[in-house]
């Protein structure tokens, strides 16, 4: 299965989106690791309804995971 079949990223204009090249998720993950960030699809899985305001840091992700756990979301 290719990542395009399960990719939930809605940022289609992003040059790292799997539909833009042949590298599947690798380009996105590489960019995020370089910037010490978590891919947007991970945030969407945790809490699709909340806006990150473009902040995809490890800390923001951890805060959302903790908040979703305390809210009983999964």
Tens digit of pLDDT per residue, the chain (74 long)?
A: 676 677 888 888 999 998 888 888 899 999 999 999 999 889 888 876 677 788 899 999 999 899 888 876 55
- Predicted pLDDT at 13: 92
Report how far Cα 11 is from the mean position of its chain's Cα atoms. 10
Q: What's the whole-model pTM score?
A: 0.74
- The dihedral built from the CA positions of residue 45, 48, 51 and 54, taken in this order, carries a sign that is positive
- The dihedral built from the CA positions of residue 33, 1, 19 and 42, taken in this order, carries a sign that is negative
Q: In a 3-state reduction of DSSP, which class is residue 17?
A: coil
User: What are the structure tokens assigned to 63, written together?
Assistant: 């805060």
- Predicted pLDDT at 11: 85
């Amino acid at each position: 299965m290719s990542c395009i079949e399960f990719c939930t990223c809605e940022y289609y204009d992003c040059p790292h989106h799997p539909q833009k090249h042949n590298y599947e998720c690798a380009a996105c993950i590489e960019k995020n690791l370089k910037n010490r960030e978590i891919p947007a699809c991970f945030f969407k899985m945790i809490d699709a309804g909340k806006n990150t305001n473009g902040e995809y840091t490890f800390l923001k992700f951890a805060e959302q995971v903790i908040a979703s756990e305390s809210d009983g979301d999964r």
